[in-house]
């Protein structure tokens, strides 16, 4: 029987454990935060649960435009109830995953894991587990998976205190809504909270070092989001690198590199994450990390040391729960000698849970514009879609990219409510090499937002006929 030790119980670790247990391996997971990892307990699951509440308030605000009379001023937000729901749902999901792992026979240890091999190049490895109950165990393993995730990046001059200067992991402990929230950073994490807090009626200012929100995402999508946030009263301060955040008597001051200052009641730091690789004893086995502290892996999750794999945010490949889980599963299939397909990032679908949502899959507009990938594309505004008109939607679009000669779909972007759900047909087309003709000839429901996916594909087909 293979002895496998997994350090970290987030999506990378627990999905790997399930695969290994189903292949009759002897699996131990050592985890420091709780099964489900930061994903379930602090990051992805809590933020999406929070956003589920904040969205309801916006739906109510839009009701009058559709002829439903009601006074938005009478809508209250029970902050303790919203936060309790967030935390109890996260705990419940963690418990469910824990129970499933236990049913599959996985041994779960609560504590910190560290590699303690006495020399480099050994055939098997040793993991020291320092348990929170005070026990110290040394676990022998033929295979080790490092799946330790990442933690919020902290600026030394903006130390979070959990009261006024916050990371996203402090938010659900606040007793009241911030009066004026300054969000530092405009990446995916930042904009999701900017959108959510404005939906709750909180005044929000964004301080970003870049020239737009979502600098790494589709520019057309980012522009739609900027317009929508501006309409909801968000102030966006661009080209503004925050040097420091300080407490004042009644709030915070954010000091910007060029001398400007911004004051508010609270500051939320969303300036990225750092991998949890510093205390893992990597030097004891001869694994080197890159300049960002990430563990380098190949497409089947192998590190440079035989028998040691790494998966998820600690590898810096693509920090998404879905990718972490896939990397973890692939590591186990490979370690157990099963046939395995190396990970393909070109087919990963992801979404940004703002209002409107932004979902993407496959190649990006940037890669096409820079000439890295030849493609034809079409961008269809949603306001021509009958269902969108019925729903009173003013913004959003469907964009599809396809190969110039064959029309094979290679990517797409959707900006719409529930874009996270609407992206699936394009993701299926990308994954299965379907063409725009395949997409165009698939029946969609009339009327539906997904009808715009058919229509966009049809426009690319017409273009085909002219070639
Ligand atoms: C605010 C926010 C929202 C997000 N929303 C989404 C989303 O909507 N969709 C999506 O796909 N992704 C989302 N992500 C990204 C997603 O959360 C991560 O990609 C995912 O958590 C990575 O999983 P992981 O298993 O690598 O690590 P994690 O989930 O971070 O789990 C790692 C675990 O390892 C443990 N650990 C660390 N060091 C040790 C040690 N030495 N010994 C033992 N245990 C250790 C930690 O305690 C933790 O439990 C979001 C991220 C953030 C910050
Ligand atoms: N819905 C989702 O799937 C979801 C949600 C959240 C995060 N994530 C994952 O997490 C990854 C990381 O996202 P993120 O937003 O946490 O980090 P990020 O590194 O992508 O963004 C941080 C932003 O902060 C800015 N910044 C850094 N230092 C600054 C300073 N001193 N002053 C002002 N601005 C500063 C950077 O320019 C950058 O735009 C994403 O790429 C995504 O993969 C996914």
Render pLDDT for 224-283 as a digit per residue (tens, 0 to 9). Answer: 999 999 999 999 999 999 999 999 999 999 999 999 999 999 999 999 999 999 999 999
Q: Looking at ligand 1, which residue's alpha carbon is closest to its atom 38?
A: 148
pLDDT for residue 465 is more than 70? no
pLDDT computed for residue 1 by the predictor = 64
**Distance from Cα 13 to the centre of ligand 1, integer Å:** 10
Residue 216 CA: nearest ligand 2 atom is: 20
pLDDT tens for residues 295-305?
Answer: 999 999 999 99
* Ligand 1: lining residues by beta carbon, under 6 Å: 7-13, 30-33, 37-39, 43-44, 47-48, 112-113, 147-150, 168, 189, 276, 280, 312-313, 319-322, 324
Arithmetic mean of pLDDT over the chain: 96
**Average pLDDT value for residue range 452-463:** 90
Q: What is the pLDDT of residues 39-50, one digit of tens each?
A: 999 999 999 999
Nearest ligand to the CA of 16 is 1
Q: What is the pLDDT of residue 72?
A: 72
Q: Is 319 in the pocket of ligand 2 (CB under 6 A)?
A: yes
CA of 290 to the centre of ligand 1 (A): 19
Q: Where are the beta strands (DSSP E) in 213-362?
A: 235-237, 242-247, 252-256, 261-264, 266-269, 273-275, 308-310, 349-352, 357-362
With a cut of 60, say whether residue 38 has pLDDT above it.
yes
Tell whether 9 is in a known binding site: no
Known binding residue 198? Answer is no
Residue 186 marked as a ligand binder: yes
Q: How confident is the model at residue 73 (pLDDT cuts 50, 70, 90)?
A: confident
Q: Please indicate if the annotation marks 304 as binding a ligand.
A: no
List Cα–Cα distances, 417 to 34, 43, 356, 422, in angstroms. Answer: 33, 22, 5, 9
Cα 175 to averaged position of ligand 2 atoms, centre (Å): 26
* Ligand 2 pocket, residue 186 CB under 6 Å: yes
| pLDDT at residue 103 greater than cutoff 80 | yes
Q: What percent of the chain has pLDDT above 90?
A: 94
Say yes or no to pLDDT of 335 above 80. yes
Residue 179 reports pLDDT greater than 70 = yes
| pLDDT at position 395 | 95
Q: Is 149 annotated to bind ligand?
A: yes
Q: Identify the pLDDT of residue 58.
A: 83
- Ligand 1 atom closest to the Cα of residue 168 is 1
CA atoms within 13 A on the CB side of 361: 26
pLDDT computed for residue 61 by the predictor: 81
> Using an 8 Å Cβ cutoff, are 113 and 33 in contact?
no
Structural contact between residues 25 and 1, judged by C-beta atoms closer than 8 angstroms: yes
Ligand 2 center to 272 CA (angstroms): 4
For residue 189 and ligand 2, the question of a CB distance below 6 A is answered with yes
Q: Residues 233, 203: contact at Cβ < 8 Å?
A: yes
Q: Of 53-57, 58-62, 420-424, give the lowest mean pLDDT range.
A: 58-62
Residue nearest to atom 2 of ligand 2 (CA): 352
| pLDDT range class, residue 74, cuts 50, 70, 90 | confident
> Is 113 annotated as contributing to ligand binding?
yes
Residue 464 has pLDDT above 80, yes or no: no
201: Cβ below 6 Å to ligand 2? no
**Atom number in ligand 1 closest to CA 312:** 26
Tell me which residue has its CA closest to atom 39 in ligand 2.
Answer: 187
User: For 365-419, how does the pLDDT look when each residue is reduced to its tens digit (9 = 90+)?
Assistant: 999 999 999 999 999 999 999 999 999 999 999 999 999 999 999 999 999 999 9
Report yes or no for ipTM above 0.95. Answer: yes
Q: Is 143 annotated as a binding residue?
A: no
Residue 238 CA: which ligand is closest?
Answer: 2
Q: CA-to-CA distance for 365 and 374, rounded, in angstroms?
A: 11
Is 292 annotated among the ligand-binding residues?
A: no
Contact status, residue 401 vs residue 409, Cβ threshold 8 Å: yes
Of 36, 43, 112, the residue with max ligand 1 atoms within 8 A of its CB, to mutate for a pocket test, comes to 43
CA distances from 60 to 56, 132, 139, 198 (A): 6, 46, 55, 14
Any known ligand binding at 313?
Answer: yes
Residue to probe by mutation, ligand 2, list 241, 271, 314, most atoms within 8 Å of CB: 271
Residue whose CA is at the smallest distance from ligand 1 atom 19 = 320
pLDDT given at position 363? 97
Nearest-angstrom CA–CA distance, 149 and 41: 13
Q: Which ligand minimizes its atom distance to the CA of 40?
A: 1
Task: List, as one string, the DSSP characters of 181-204.
Answer: EEEE--SHHHHHHHHHHHHTT-EE
CA of 446 to the centre of ligand 1 (A): 40
pLDDT tier at 462 (50, 70, 90 boundaries)?
Answer: low
Q: Are 453 and 459 within 8 A, CB to CB? A: no
pLDDT tier, 60 (very low <50, low <70, confident <90, very high otherwise): confident
pLDDT average, residue stretch 25-36 = 98
- Residue 463, pLDDT > 60, answer no
Mutation to probe ligand 1, out of 5, 30, 37, 352 (largest number of atoms < 8 A from CB): 37
Q: Is 187 annotated as a binding residue?
A: yes
Ligand with smallest separation from the Cα of 146:
1
> What is the phi/psi pair of residue 459, to 5°?
-65, -35
Mean pLDDT of 142-165: 98
């Amino acid at each position: 029987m293979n002895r496998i030790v997994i350090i970290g119980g987030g999506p990378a670790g627990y999905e790997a454990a399930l695969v290994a247990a189903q292949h009759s391996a002897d699996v131990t997971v050592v985890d420091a935060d709780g099964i489900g990892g930061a994903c379930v307990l602090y990051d992805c699951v809590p933020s999406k649960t929070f956003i589920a509440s904040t969205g309801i308030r916006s739906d109510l605000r839009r009701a009058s435009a559709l002829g439903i009379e009601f006074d938005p001023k009478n809508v209250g937000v029970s902050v303790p109830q919203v936060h309790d729901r967030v935390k109890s749902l996260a705990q419940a999901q963690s418990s469910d995953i824990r129970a499933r792992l236990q049913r599959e026979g996985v041994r779960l240890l609560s504590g910190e894991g560290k590699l303690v091999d006495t020399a480099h190049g050994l055939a098997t490895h040793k993991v020291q587990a320092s348990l929170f109950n005070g026990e110290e165990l040394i676990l022998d393993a033929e295979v080790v998976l490092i799946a330790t995730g990442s933690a919020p990046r902290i600026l030394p001059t903006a130390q979070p205190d959990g009261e006024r200067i916050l990371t996203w992991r402090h938010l659900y402990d606040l007793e009241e809504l911030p009066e004026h929230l300054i969000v530092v950073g405009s990446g995916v994490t930042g904009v999701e909270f900017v959108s959510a807090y404005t939906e709750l009626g909180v005044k929000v200012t964004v301080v970003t070092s870049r020239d737009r929100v979502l600098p790494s995402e589709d520019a057309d999508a980012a522009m739609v989001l900027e317009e929508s946030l501006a309409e909801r009263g968000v102030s966006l301060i661009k080209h503004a690198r925050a040097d420091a955040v300080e407490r004042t008597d009644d709030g915070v001051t954010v000091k910007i590199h060029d001398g400007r200052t911004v004051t508010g009641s609270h500051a939320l730091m969303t300036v990225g994450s750092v991998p949890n690789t510093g205390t893992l004893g990597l030097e004891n086995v001869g694994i080197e990390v890159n300049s960002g502290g990430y563990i380098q892996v190949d497409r089947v999750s192998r590190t440079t040391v035989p028998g040691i794999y790494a998966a998820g945010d600690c590898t810096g490949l693509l920090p998404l729960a879905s990718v972490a889980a896939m990397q973890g599963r692939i590591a186990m299939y490979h370690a157990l000698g099963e046939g395995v397909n190396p990970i393909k990032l070109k087919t990963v679908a992801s979404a940004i849970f703002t209002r409107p949502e932004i979902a993407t899959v496959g190649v990006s507009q940037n890669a096409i514009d820079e000439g890295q990938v030849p493609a034809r594309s079409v961008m269809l505004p949603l306001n021509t879609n009958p269902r969108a008109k019925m729903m009173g939607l003013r913004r959003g679009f469907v964009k599809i990219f396809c190969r110039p000669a064959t029309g094979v779909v290679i990517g797409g972007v959707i900006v719409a409510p529930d874009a996270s759900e609407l992206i699936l047909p394009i993701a299926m087309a990308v994954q299965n090499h379907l063409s725009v003709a395949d997409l165009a000839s698939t029946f969609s429901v009339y009327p539906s937002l997904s009808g715009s996916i058919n229509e966009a594909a049809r426009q690319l087909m017409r273009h085909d006929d002219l070639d």
